[in-house]
Structure formats: structure tokens, C-alpha cells
């Protein structure tokens, strides 16, 4: 099975889910900086207090990662 960590950067940002409202989630970093994001972007069943990791990659890097994952999936399917 493909490792989900292949879809992330090598320097994920650690953050905490501080508040969950109907459609919004407040994410807080260890230095106190925070932002709100739609709850559709957080892992299912996430709750206040959970730790999450955010990976920031530029578009060319994301393209390479997706291509690599695609090749690995095909290899796994074709060579069980």
C-alpha cells in the first residue's frame, strides 16, 4: 500500500486544533500564530486539542510528488 507520507513535504508544520465551530476550525502554531480554515480540510474525526501537521509545497514539487505516487500505485497494481 502507498504510504500517505509520500504526499507531504519533508518539513511539516506542527499545529494544534484550538477550536471547532460548525464549518470553521482554528489552527494554532506553537508561537501563537493562528488561522481559520474550513473543516473540510482537516482529517475526519479531528477534535479540539488534536495535533495536525501541515505541509507546504510549491506547485512544481506537488506535481513531482503526484507523478511519483501515480507511478508507485501503477507499479503496485501491475506487479502485485
Domain ranges of the chain: 13-78
**Stretch 39-67: mean pLDDT:** 89
| Predicted pLDDT of residue 2 | 44
CATH number for 13-78 (one of 1.10.150, 1.10.10, 2.30.30, 1.10.3470): it is 2.30.30
Whole-number mean pLDDT of the chain?
85
Q: State yes or no: pLDDT of 4 exceeds 60.
A: no
pLDDT tier at 9 (50, 70, 90 boundaries)? low
| Long-range contacts, stretch 17-26, CB < 8 angstroms, 24+ apart | 17/42, 17/46, 17/47, 17/48, 17/49, 17/50, 17/51, 17/52, 18/48, 19/48, 20/46, 20/47, 20/48
**Stretch 23-27: mean pLDDT:** 94
The model's pTM is: 0.66
| Predicted pLDDT of residue 66 | 86
**Stretch 14-24: mean pLDDT:** 92
Amino acid at each position: 500500500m502507498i504510504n500517505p507520507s509520500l504526499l507531504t513535504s519533508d518539513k511539516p508544520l506542527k499545529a494544534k486544533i484550538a477550536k471547532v465551530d460548525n464549518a470553521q476550525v482554528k489552527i494554532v502554531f506553537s508561537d501563537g500564530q493562528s488561522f481559520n480554515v474550513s473543516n473540510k480540510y482537516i482529517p475526519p474525526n479531528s477534535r479540539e486539542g488534536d495535533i495536525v501537521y501541515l505541509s507546504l509545497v510549491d506547485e512544481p514539487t506537488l506535481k513531482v510528488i503526484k507523478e511519483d505516487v501515480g507511478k508507485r500505485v501503477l507499479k503496485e497494481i501491475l506487479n502485485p
